Chains A and B, each alone.
Chain A
Amino acid sequence: MKTWLVLLFFVLGFSFRNVASLNSDELPQDDEEWGFVGRETSSRLGGGGIGGEKTGQGSSSSSSSIRNVGESRRIGSTMASSSTTSPSSLGVPGDKKIQFDLEHCFGDSEFTPAGSFSARLRTLPHGRQTLFKLRLTRNPFSELEEKAFKEIVQQNGFYKVRVPANVIDPGKAYVVAAVKARCLAAANLKERFDLNLDQGNVVGITYSSAVECTQNPHPQVFPSDWTFSSWIVTKSSEQAMRLIPMLDDTPLMSGEKLVTGEDGVATKVVEKNFWQKYWMYILPFGLIVINAITSITNMPDEPASGQAGAAPAGAVPQRISGAGGARRR
């Protein structure tokens, strides 16, 4: 039974992977159900203030979403490298489909196209723009590129990628990121892009192998399969909570009362109970009383045990006992 289940899961997983890779091949026109990628957390704006329970001073969690985009086929020819902007025929009006290049370089070489990102750009009513549904179509390595990659793996060099900093209107500025080629090779070209987006801008990319690569020095291995598998994570900025001046309107706790000070500001004061107020008087008084009681209870015993007389109780017995001791010796 168990084996059957495992097998079923395996088959299911395999087929799902296949489906995913198929999906990425043809770019879906509209799949709203996937949700936004890298959307600003505008809904959380100005929520909460300081003063309440937990005070809402913390910051809202960052909205980051993870998208696994399947690998691409090996294409001999390079793709069109210009980024195109075309209004979408379907979907929400104001949405635009945009495309921008991913370029790569091996060590010192020039940057060449390595694939293209496609995304949807939505202009929100208040003028902000968000990018979502980010997909990457990765060009597989050509023969030359494969050779260059092997070379930098041998040299323990860096494999670098870049995308335009402004993806809507690409200028001269590029955001660059690099990974140790050996890490990428060891991970079998399973790569991970962490894109920090700010409206239509890419602020920074973290490019890493999808598999942890912390060994130093990295062992030299070549990928067994030369197909890229990209994992895209988009991150947008967190918004700090607005700090609202704290008005001290918390209800009075039991035992508290308002006292207006010299400066006219009412402050809460915890009212002390009787013991808290007067312990310093009660304590010595109590000690004295206890002392007195013990001395009183002792007093009647003394004359009975010792000799009769008017001598002070404290000194006489001692002397007697001391003298007695001396005599005994």
Chain B
Amino acid sequence: MAHHRQSLNLQQQQQQLLLLLAFVFVLGFLTSSCHALYEDQVGVWDWHQQYIGRVKHAVFQTQGSGRKRVVVATEQNALASLNLRTGEIYWRHVLGESDPIDVLELASGKYVMTLSGGTNVRAWHLPDGVLIWEAAIPSSKGSNPPRLVALPVDIDYDKINDLLVLSGSVLTALSGQDGTTIWKVDISGKDVDIRDVIVATEELKAYGVGFIGDSGFTVIEIDLQAGTITDRKTAMTSETLSVTELLVSKQFAVALDSKGTHLVTVSINANGLTVLETALSSLSLNAVGLPKLLPTKLDGAISLALGDLTAIVAVDPTSGELRTVETLVGAVAVSDSLSVANSKHSVAIIQLLEGGHSQNTFSLHVHGEDWTEVVQKETVKLPSHRGHVQKVFLNAYLRTDRTHGFRALVVGEDDSLLLLQQGEIVWTREDELASIVDAKSAELPLERDGVSVAEVEHDLAEWLKGHFLKLKATLFLASADEIAAVQESRLNQADKTKLTRDHNGFRKLLLVLTKSGKLLALHTGDGRIVWSLLIPGFRAPHGGPQVCPEKLLLWQVPHQHAEERPEVLVLGKSCSTSDFPAVLSWVDAYKGIELHTMKLSYPVTHAFGLPLTDSSEQRLHLFVDDQAQAHLLPGSEESLDLFLKQKDNAYFYEVDRTKGIIEGYGIKGLVESSRQTSSEGYLFETEKLWSVVFPEETESIATVATRRPDEVVHTQAKVLGNREVLFKYLNKNMIFVATVTPKSVGLLGAASPEDSTVVAYLIDTVTGRILHRVTHPSMQGPVHAVLSENWVVYHYFNLRNHRYEMSVLETYDQSRVGDKGVMQLMLGRHNASAPLSSYSSSNVEVKGQSYFFTYTVKTLTVTTTARGITSKQLLLGTVTDQVLALDKRLLDPRRSATPTPSEREEGILPLTDAIPISPQGYLTNGYQVEGLRGILTIPARLESTCLVFAYGLDLFYTRTAPSRTYDSLTEDFSYALLLMTIVALLIAIAVTYVLAERKELAEKWK
């Protein structure tokens, strides 16, 4: 009996021991998932850059004694105040995607007024960007651009000047104090289409100017204080008018006739309206195509574009007579009129100099009141990668000699922002980086033999000194200055920014393609721009069709031939139409020069690299056109031979989101005639092999996730705690598709939980086999997914529990299950090496599990490492524009509430209903990557480490080690301490040896 009890006790002890072990393990796991930084580590290997995007409105604040600044609104819906001396951001606000800023005005010298979408008026405090008030105007019908006028008078007697907003046909007066509506008047009438509003301050009158139908003008007079319509004037024209654009000035309005041959001017004066029609030919303007009125606000003049030509036509305010004052050819930017002292007006015109094409030299002319007079004349040379000037904003300042000087804020073709003064570029903002389309990484060149590391590094004494300082700092012996010096040296490590490959593979080039058609290489060390190129092949001729960059493909990645340069291929498509032929451009990734460009004769629906490279390590690419034919590039005999060998095993698929169809294709024969035009690629006929049709009424494609083509998987086998082996089903052709109920695509609440479903599919893209299909009832999109190795994780919204959920699916190959046991695996007695074929009848077991998750997700990706040994982290772009790292082990479908001891040993966590979020899991630390759109993960050469580049409006780069840096010493490891310890020990050994000898001798003499 006693014996029995003892054995029971023993069992209990064992259990306790196991519990303890498990506890220690869990503790160990928790600590290993912490990636927090110390304060002094910030900026050592991460960097963060802030941008605002392409500027569309700018107002200057240069009067007064305060800091000189310019407030800008951008196409990326950012509102920012910049330091006019340096271009730095004082403050910045990024508004939502559906909140574009239409009008930007300064009011009362200290408020910034913005009007978004014709419905939201906001007042911001100029010095610090605090939102003072926000007023919502009920949206009224009408598609005309809304107007906002900051009144120079106070109409509600609160000593703050007020505002007028024209939105649709409703004119609203808002209090400048708090944005309350003072009065509101609907100025529409039969056929009346009011376009603009002008204010006569002295008379306290506002005038709404617009069209009547398409054959007349109307001016409506409104009393500013009462908000009542006091008068309506109309004037009919003999010609029918083009009602797309109406230019309104204080004393006149100008429109084009529908044929585009006449300019129709209406003069607004006390007596009434007088209409005058002037033929363009009489202004010696020969129309090439349809002329277009430019929305530039000029005083006493209008500007219009006639094909390649830009003309400025002065208008006589009383008679309405027209006179051409300037005709300009080519790329021209005209600023709005700027009123300087003595109510004089000035206009800046920036024009590419004749013959300045190669130099990218521009002339900047500032015209005075009279158009003949040129107040300021400068030539500016812009770097060639800035392209032409797209927009110019003029600002005046008082020179030392009390005359007026002018500076110009210009927006380049590449979306960058520059300030020009006295013919010089004062500062540049690389705001093209706010709109990255695609990003890839490239290796840096190898270190050359001539340059040894020692020459670049400091000498040994310096090195030792640095380490000695570090040691002092760690032992709390250093003074404040010394600590600062240590921090300085950490942040500016010389080897961090070198332009050569490093041993650990941390130094790389980030190749980013921007919306403006610019390719830039950023250094991972400090984020500086190594080179930039405005891709010449994509630059639109003046007024020609615009080419939008679409995709960045790694054309050539040299491994064997280190002297070869990596090449990237940029694919461009027409911005507007889909059937426009595509443009290709090959760029040297080291130098940033376009090697050659090609305009294809066919449009490209999608392009992808094949897992084949030719002898010069150029990757073979397939371009699929709209007829579902495949074109093979490079168009060399060698690549053709290579491809023909693999032709029967080449398949591709296309996803048609609108129709809800996925179709798979096989490659048929080569079209022999394409041998002649092989520079455009060998043409292959294709054959539709399979299709998956999602039921139209119940499912529409929400997301498609694929594996990274360059993903490395370390092992197929997963050894369980009980020494059994699970085989991952690693199908390179597997994709994940999630569909949602079409009704629930829109906002939350659009569909009831009963008829809103998310369906997840795993599809083999060679055969079209649906490997797995699982429905999640009462769920709603948007769905974000990431597919890696044998698992997929996806994120969606649970309508019943009103929470987000994340699900995981893992696929295991049951057909290999016979070879169980680690011993068999080790002895090679298994069939894990047998190739996996899409055509073999697979026996896939799918394990799945769902968890609640707290956040909305903007983007989802996974870390990658060089050999795939390190465990993985999911990287989530959260709604707060931060990057959160989650250990994949949290999303393990084999988690259970009470894991068995063997499962615990394996590291399976006890099941929870929600994924815990550790505050230390944020890779972005305290930063925000505003407008986060994508996260690029790059494997370093060091297996433990993965490089992470997050981009949106801002850029952020850091390193992450999902299983800690187990293969290298931390960088604050004190080599000096180690060295000094060794030296001290050696000395101690020598001293004690001598002492011992002496003592022994003394003993002997005793």
B-binding residues in A (CB < 8 A): 45, 50-55, 57-59, 62, 107-108, 156, 158, 160, 165-166, 173-178, 180, 183, 194, 196, 198-199, 201-206, 208, 212-214, 216-217, 235, 237-246, 322-323, 326
Contact = CB atoms under 8 A, between A and B. Distances in A.
Most buried by A among B666, B689, B801: B689
Nearest to B893: A58
B839 A183 contact: yes
A52 B992 CA distance: 68
Given A55-B896, A206-B768, A173 B848 contact: no
Contacts of A241: 850
A300 to B, nearest CB: 30
Given A213-B839, A240-B775, A245-B801, A57 B691 contact: no
A204 B586 CA distance: 40
Contacts of B52: none
Interface stretch (B138-146, B510-518, B692-700, B978-986): B692-700
Given A57-B911, A58-B849, A239 B774 contact: yes
B78 interface: no
A240 B659 CA distance: 26
Given A204-B763, A217-B648, A237 B773 contact: yes
> Lowest 5 A-B CB distances belong to which pairs?
A246-B913, A165-B693, A178-B689, A206-B769, A201-B695
B1003 A57 contact: no
A186 to B, nearest CB: 12
Contacts of B259: none
A201 to B, nearest CB: 4
B768 A203 contact: no
Interface in B217-245: none
Nearest to A192: B841
Given A52-B897, A176-B768, A206-B767, 4 more contacts: A57-B849, A174-B693, A176-B691, A204-B763
Contacts of B768: 176-177, 204-206
12 contacts: A51-B897, A108-B687, A173-B696, A174-B693, A177-B768, A178-B690, A194-B769, A202-B693, A204-B692, A213-B839, A235-B770, A241-B850
A216 B766 CA distance: 15
A198 B210 CA distance: 57
Contacts of A246: 912-914
B865 to A, nearest CB: 30
Contacts of B699: 198
Contacts of A183: 839
Contact of A243 (B687, B696, B805): B805
A98 B110 CA distance: 75
A183 B775 CA distance: 33
Contacts of A237: 759, 773-775
A224 to B, nearest CB: 22
Contacts of B1004: 326
A174 B691 contact: yes
A3 B909 CA distance: 57
Nearest to B685: A108
Contacts of A243: 798, 801, 805, 850-852, 913
B648 A54 contact: no
Interface in B761-789: 763, 767-770, 772-778
Nearest to A46: B777
A178 B770 CA distance: 14
B847 interface: yes
Contacts of B840: 212-214
Contacts of A180: 839
A58 B848 contact: yes
A239 B772 CA distance: 11
Contacts of B914: 246
A245 B913 contact: yes
Interface in B421-466: none
Contact of A203 (B687, B773, B850): B773
A176 B689 contact: yes
B1006 interface: yes
B1000 to A, nearest CB: 10
B850 A57 contact: yes
Interface string B678-713: 000000000111111111101100000000000000
B331 interface: no
Which of A59, A158, A178, A246 gathers most chain B CB within 10 Å?
A59
Contacts of A156: 648
Nearest to A50: B913
A244 B666 CA distance: 45
A237 B774 CA distance: 5
B372 interface: no
B833 interface: no
B970 interface: no
Nearest to A54: B896
A50 B1006 contact: no
Given A160-B689, A173-B693, A240-B848, A208 B767 contact: yes
A177 B690 contact: yes
B403 interface: no
B785 to A, nearest CB: 15
A214 B774 contact: no
Among A206, A241, A245: residue with most chain B CB under 10 A: A206
Contacts of A235: 770, 773
Contacts of B663: 176
A232 to B, nearest CB: 15
Contacts of A50: 897, 911, 913
B745 interface: no
Given A57-B850, A156-B648, A243-B913, A238 B689 contact: no
A199 B695 contact: yes
A166 B437 CA distance: 39
A239 to B, nearest CB: 5
